[in-house]
Amino acid sequence: MSLPVRTSVSQGSSRGAMTATLVSGSTWSSNVGCTPMGNTTQIRFARFARDFVRIYWQTVKSGDFSMPPHEPSEETVDELLSEVSHTTEIEPSTARSGALYKLLMTSKFGDWWLFSFRDGVPAWTLVGCAARSDDDSQPHDLLAPVYSQYFEPFLRHVTEAANTQNGI
């Protein structure tokens, strides 16, 4: 399992330079080919990610997908959003699969959630979700059998709502 990363993407003339900072503090850089179509996809994903984060916390606040310990959120959506930040990363396509688009959401309290998506053109498809656990080397797989009964319907709802928000 790779560590979650924070990324920034800057665009050159025809290539984007991506610099990532691992949560542990190490950094790495790579050049990722960015064609005009790739830039459009990056923008689409950035918009989707922004909406996904907002809808995620709106859904938490609504209580529509209550999960143990069934404690309602007393904060407003804006208060919840003020406690988190998010970044995106794109893993290039391989011979076996298309690009993997990652959204890392972190809270100011040290929790993190890493969502992985594929570009299902036109809609984004959730393919993975991990979250911080007490053991940093073993994050929780929120789509694994132990957690999926709670998180899969919730995350599918958020993904579909974010796709709809983006006119997909």
- 131 three-class SS: strand
User: 């542990």: which residue's tokens?
Assistant: 24
Q: Which residues pair with 7 in a beta bridge?
A: 20
- For the entire predicted model, the pTM comes to 0.76
b (16+ CB within 10 A) / e for 14-41? eebebebeeeeeeeeeeebebeeebeeb
pLDDT tens, position by position, 42-97: 999 999 999 999 999 999 999 999 888 878 889 999 999 999 999 999 999 998 89
Q: Which residues pair with 10 in a beta bridge?
A: 17
Contact criterion met (CB below 8 Å) for 33 and 49: no
Q: Where are the domains of the chain?
A: 45-165
Q: How far apart are CA 49 and CA 35, in angstroms?
A: 21
Q: How far apart are CA 126 and CA 154, in angstroms?
A: 12
User: pLDDT at position 166, please?
Assistant: 86
pLDDT tens, position by position, 119-154: 988 899 999 999 999 998 999 999 999 999 999 999
Q: Output 20 or 90, whichever has higher pLDDT.
A: 90
CA-based diameter of the chain, in Å?
51
User: pLDDT at position 38, please?
Assistant: 60
| Nearest in space to 56 (alpha carbons), one of 126, 137, 108, 139 | 126
